[in-house]
Amino acid sequence: MGGYGIGDVPHVELTADDRSSLSESDEAQAALMAEAVIHVSERDEVLGPMSKLEAHRGAGAFHRAFSVLLFNSKGEMLLQRRSMDKVTFPGVWANACCSHPLHEEGELDEVDAMGVKRAAIRKLEQELGIDPTTISESDLTFMTKMRYAARMNATWIEREIDHILVMTADVELKPNPNEVAEVMWVSNEALEAMLIEERPAHEAVAPWFRSIAARIMTKDWWQHHAHAEKLAELADDRIHDMGDISHMLPGAEGADLLTSIMEVKPLIEARIESSLRASRHERLGNAMMHLIEGGGKRMRATLPWLIAKAVGEAHSGLLDIGAAIETVHNFTLVHDDIMDDDEVRRGRNAVHVEYGMPTAINAGDAMLAIAFERLVQAENLEAHDVAPLVNRIAWMVRRVSEGQQLDIEFEDRLNVSEEDYLEMIEGKTAVMFLICAEIGARISGADEETIQLMAEWGKAVGLCFQLMDDIIDVLSDSETLGKPAGSDIAQGKRTLMVIHALRQPESPVKERLLGALGKGDEVSEASLSDGLAALQELGSVTYAREMAEAFHAQAHACLDRIEDGPALVALRELTDFQLARLH
């Protein structure tokens, strides 16, 4: 089967747009992007077929893979340098063969890892020209699994549940030049030296192989490579969580914010749903899910993961933490809508409108408890990390409640100062960004200086976010907002713009604002529109925007102190997010 074409294996027909996106790629390699790989969950549960293109482009998706560690009788391991014709990760050095089982009966077989072993023999022939009659599935020993993500650039990413196989055989190699640029046999010592060398991106060690070599395999694998019984004793049924290892590739380029969020958003939402749907009462579960099902950007939820990628090591426990924080956030929104008497959230009925006030209050209370349940069950956390983590999240909830209480009281106070307002939004909004960033850095293993720096970044982003949210309420229409435009003015909220406007000298323009401020349902559409216009004429919108831009600059200054890497692309775009909404 050496040099087989796409018609020889299970495949998914690519669309015209898909084929167009590959127009500059090698023709043979582009054709193989239609291979039907096995789409899997984080737990390696089969979800169905998926084109190799879809699994690797943009946010990508988890799919089943294998890595063959091939030894010879001298105890040397075979490495291959991937052809420069490859669509993903061209030129990097990796293990003897790393590829994908395909979505067909034989390669889906999970008994004794038979499916991945069959796929390995197929690819050992196709890539290295190894005669399949000279080896068999019994020569391959399954060792363990590894879950990881590695981004090459904004377009291409690997996201795999990698089944690691070991084989010892003295084989004749006839490398396929379309797949393999060169090969070499290395000793354990030579490989260790290779792992610490500084190498250019096109000759670097592949991130997945680096993870296997440095973090999973041991000297015992080398010692017992030719003894299947001994290897079997070293094997395990774990899925080793490597997190995002993009930083291991020199010159890796990060993706934009939306793509970076979409890499993990479905995983976080699945965690949230599994927690909230666990309720024994269907109506309560539906009420808790109501806002979640309404969508949302999930920026707070994904932030611990995004921060960890930028300053340390990311792992799936950060997704559990993100799910807990997002659940807390939605709990506050349920209660906010009740306190503010807002009937619409994210373009749909608020929970208290859809399910009634008592159920909405009860749902919010339950969500807070469930968030902490998810938090203490987070994966990959050391026992000594849990108590401080719970303490910081609890502190966040208290600060959010204090900020909300100030917001409530401000509606009946005329003398709210800028300092009062900033204290309120720090608690109500900024502290959640602060804690997400702080926890992401701490759980990633960053040093204390970096942890505090990222907390400062989170606070500045949060303050900018709330200031801009207030401005957007003034400048956007109801359809864009998903709630009535100008509702903050009608409710009499003391935003920075209103505080600035109220301290201006008496004037007809100020009277127009006062004609709408705090009038609630009694305000006419024309009067509300006139009040919003008055805010702009008084210079209050510009004043608030300038303060938002100052916090925006402060946040970027924090990022400037972080070592550059692919994950910073998304963090910088997140920093710009609210300002960009008005451009």
> Do residues 321 and 378 lie in contact, with contact meaning Cβ atoms separated by under 8 Å?
yes
> Distance between CA atoms of 304 and 325, rounded to whole angstroms?
10
**Structural tokens at position 56:** 């690797």
Position 460: which residue type? A
| Domains by residue range for the chain, with CATH | 63-148+161-248 (3.90.79.10), 257-580 (1.10.600.10)
> Do residues 290 and 351 lie in contact, with contact meaning Cβ atoms separated by under 8 Å?
yes
What is the per-residue pLDDT for 279? 83
Beta strand spans in 12-139 (E): 36-40, 46-51, 63-71, 77-82, 93-95, 97-99
- At 331-358, the pLDDT tens digits run 999 998 898 788 888 889 999 999 999 9
> Which residues are paired to 161 by β-bridges?
64, 147
What is the DSSP secondary structure assignment for residue 113, as one 8-state letter? G
C-alpha distance from residue 68 to each of 47, 142, 352, 544 (Å): 24, 9, 56, 59
What is the per-residue pLDDT for 486? 75
> Do residues 581 and 480 lie in contact, with contact meaning Cβ atoms separated by under 8 Å?
no
Position 379: which residue type? E
Q: Specify burial of residue 457 (Cβ count, 10 A radius: 0-12, 13-18, 19+).
A: buried
Position 132: which residue type? P
Low-confidence ranges of the chain (pLDDT < 70): 1-3, 477-485, 582-583
Q: Residue 513: CA atoms inside 13 Å, Cβ hemisphere, count?
A: 29
Q: Which is nearest to 290 in space by CA: 333, 351, 340, 347?
A: 351
Q: What is the dihedral of CA 65, 71, 75, 80, to 10 degrees?
A: -80
Q: Which is nearest to 260 in space by CA: 224, 231, 298, 294?
A: 298
What is the per-residue pLDDT for 583? 58
What is the per-residue pLDDT for 582? 64
Whether the predicted model's global pTM rises above the 0.85 cut:
yes
Residue 223: phi, psi to the nearest 5?
-65, -40
How would you label 555-568 residue by residue, b for 16+ Cβ within 10 Å and e otherwise? bbebbeebeeebbb
Phi-psi region at 295: left, alpha or beta (left = phi > 0; alpha = psi -120 to 50): left
Return the percent helix, strand and coil in the chain, to nearest 5.
55, 15, 30
What is the per-residue pLDDT for 481? 47
**Structural tokens at position 338:** 């009740």
Chain CA centroid to CA 139, Å: 38
